[in-house]
Copies of this chain bind each other. A is one copy, B any other.
Amino acid sequence: MSTTAVTALVLDLAGTFAFALNGALTAVRVARLDIVGVVTLGMITALGGGILRDVLLGALPPATFSDWRYLVVAAVGGLVAFGLSRQLERLATPITVFDALGLGLFAVTGASRALALGAGAGQAVLLGALTAVGGGTLRDVLVRRVPTVLSSELYAIPALLGAGVVVVADRLGAGALVPSLVGAALCIAVRLVGVRLRLEAPHPPGRPDADPE
């Protein structure tokens, strides 16, 4: 296994773990589920984005089902979050941070995988962003929230940025490792700054932004 492949796997599994923690904590906090529900929601959040990407690429069965490490990491993440929920659930911060980590890591690994499977540049950017936002969107639909990708401060944009860095670097013939780290860091930073400063993209004209709902 080449260094590149190992790096890609490590980043992908790290993203899987971050999203599993996030999804499981969301299950505890929002929906008060039992252990099966908590671990299931953690696994769906962790694996959903990659599954959607592989379905659209026609790379079936999805990597998740041919490589057990993803399932194991996702399940362990869900169990860890379940066990630590008393410590973690009062803090909204861990949920946000794990979500941003998963977003950045999946944006770059999703784009890389799309390129490796022969997707064009634009497709790879979109599929990277879809990998990043897909699992969280399934999570939100299942616990009946309007998905973060639609409602939140900057979410889709940092994912597109992170995936874009990887794709541009690939077209310029740069290596894979540094652009992946840069892209992921950029995405995570933009996302967290957006949450911190409550930045939002423009609202429809004629509708005051400060409109109290």
The residues of A with any CB-CB pair to B shorter than 8 Å are 27-28, 31-38, 40-41, 51, 55-58, 60-62, 65-66, 68, 71, 82-83, 85-86, 89, 119, 122-123, 126-127, 137, 141-144, 146-147, 149-151, 154-157, 200-207, 211, 213
Besides the contacts A56-B62, A86-B205, what 12 more A-B pairs have beta carbons closer than 8 Å?
Answer: A27-B150, A28-B204, A31-B151, A32-B203, A35-B204, A40-B156, A55-B55, A56-B60, A68-B122, A86-B207, A141-B141, A143-B146
Contact A61:B58 (CB < 8 A) given known A33-B150, A36-B201, A143-B146: yes
Q: Is the interface of A mostly helix, strand, loop or mixed?
A: helix
CA distance A151 to B204 in the complex (A): 29
Instruction: Give the docked Cα–Cα distance between A119 and B65 (Å).
Output: 9
Q: Which residues of B contact A142 (CB under 8 A)?
A: 137, 141, 146-147, 150
Report B-chain residues with C-beta under 8 Å of the C-beta of A41: 150
